């Protein structure tokens, strides 16, 4: 489990497709702090480490992961957001992030607000009921608060710290990002759909 508070970023070192899987090797910014088979969140995707050395470590993305994330757009030297798993004795910042990407969204507009940035994202219409104003959402693994949501477009505000600390400062209009909706919202939406017309206990 993760919180959406990014520790650092790293670069893609190598990409290797084998059958329907994608093997990804990243530069290792953690030195001796990670090990096999530890899980790390990469741009919102929970990956298990399968190989490691002082300079790099590797993970594998299955066909299912490739279908629901932006990994097919990944290139060597791309910057990726990283967060290691939550330690239970720490304060819980951000919100519950599982590292299970639900879908992708396209950046529709970026507004410089003279000290912060407004990012607007376009979603598939079927996900509208999972996005609410002031609700939480993870974009490329970053825990953010939704500012507005109209039809299938929602916006988030990015403060300077988050902008500089994550790969959001590399993002441009038209880029595809990974999206994970709030797990509590997903459970409520499923309950209401299944029990439509019945009172909530």
Distances in Å between the Cα of 143 and the Cα atoms of 81, 83, 198 are: 12, 11, 33
Distances in Å between the Cα of 67 and the Cα atoms of 22, 40, 58, 108 are: 12, 20, 20, 21
80 shares a domain with 35: yes
pLDDT value at position 197? 56
User: For 18-40, what is the mean pLDDT?
Assistant: 94
What value does the mean pLDDT of the chain take?
Answer: 94
Burial of 90 (0-12, 13-18, 19+ CB in 10 A): exposed
User: For 176-201, what is the mean pLDDT?
Assistant: 83
User: For 70-89, what is the mean pLDDT?
Assistant: 94
* Structural domain harbouring 15: 8-84
pLDDT value at position 199? 53
Sign of the C-alpha dihedral computed for residues 52, 70, 143 and 191 taken in this order: negative
Count of domains observed in the chain:
2
Beta bridge partners of 110: 119
User: For 17-32, what is the mean pLDDT?
Assistant: 94
Please determine, for residue 200, whether its predicted confidence score (pLDDT) is greater than 70: no
- Where a domain ends, among 84, 117, 142? 84
Q: In this structure, what CATH number is given to the domain that contains residue 59?
A: 2.40.30.20
User: For 139-164, what is the mean pLDDT?
Assistant: 96
Give yes or no for a contact between 76 and 67, defined as CB atoms under 8 angstroms apart.
no
Alpha-carbon span 159 to 147, nearest angstrom: 13
The answer to whether residue 93 is domain-embedded is no
Q: Beta-carbon neighbour count of residue 175 at 10 Å?
A: 17
Alpha-carbon span 196 to 184, nearest angstrom: 18
Please determine, for residue 87, whether its predicted confidence score (pLDDT) is greater than 70: yes
The answer to whether residue 21 is domain-embedded is yes
Band of pLDDT at residue 198, cut at 50, 70 and 90: low
153 shares a domain with 74: no
Q: Beta-carbon neighbour count of residue 58 at 10 Å?
A: 19
What percent of the chain is predicted at pLDDT more than 90?
A: 86
pLDDT value at position 83? 97
119 shares a domain with 186: yes
User: For 157-181, what is the mean pLDDT?
Assistant: 97
- Where a domain ends, among 31, 49, 84? 84
Beta bridge partners of 143: 138
What percent of the chain is predicted at pLDDT more than 70?
A: 98
């Amino acid at each position: 489990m993760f919180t959406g508070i990014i520790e650092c970023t790293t670069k893609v070192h190598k990409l290797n497709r084998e059958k329907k899987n994608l093997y990804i090797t990243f530069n290792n910014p953690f030195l001796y702090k990670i090990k096999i088979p530890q899980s790390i969140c990469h741009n919102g995707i929970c990956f298990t480490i399968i190989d490691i050395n002082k300079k790099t470590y590797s993970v594998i993305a299955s066909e299912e992961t490739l279908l629901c994330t932006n990994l097919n757009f990944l290139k060597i030297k791309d910057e990726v957001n990283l967060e290691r798993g939550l330690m239970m004795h720490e304060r819980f910042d951000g919100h519950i992030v599982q590292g299970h990407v639900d879908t992708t969204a396209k950046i529709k507009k970026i507004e410089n607000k003279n000290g912060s940035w407004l990012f607007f994202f376009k979603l598939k219409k079927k996900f509208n009921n999972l996005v609410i104003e002031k609700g939480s959402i993870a974009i490329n693994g970053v825990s953010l608060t939704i500012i507005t949501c109209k039809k299938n477009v929602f916006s988030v505000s990015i403060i300077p710290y988050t902008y500089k600390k994550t790969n959001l400062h590399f993002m441009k209009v038209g880029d595809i990002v990974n999206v994970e909706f709030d797990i509590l919202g997903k459970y409520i939406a499923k309950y209401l759909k299944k029990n439509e017309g019945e009172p909530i206990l």
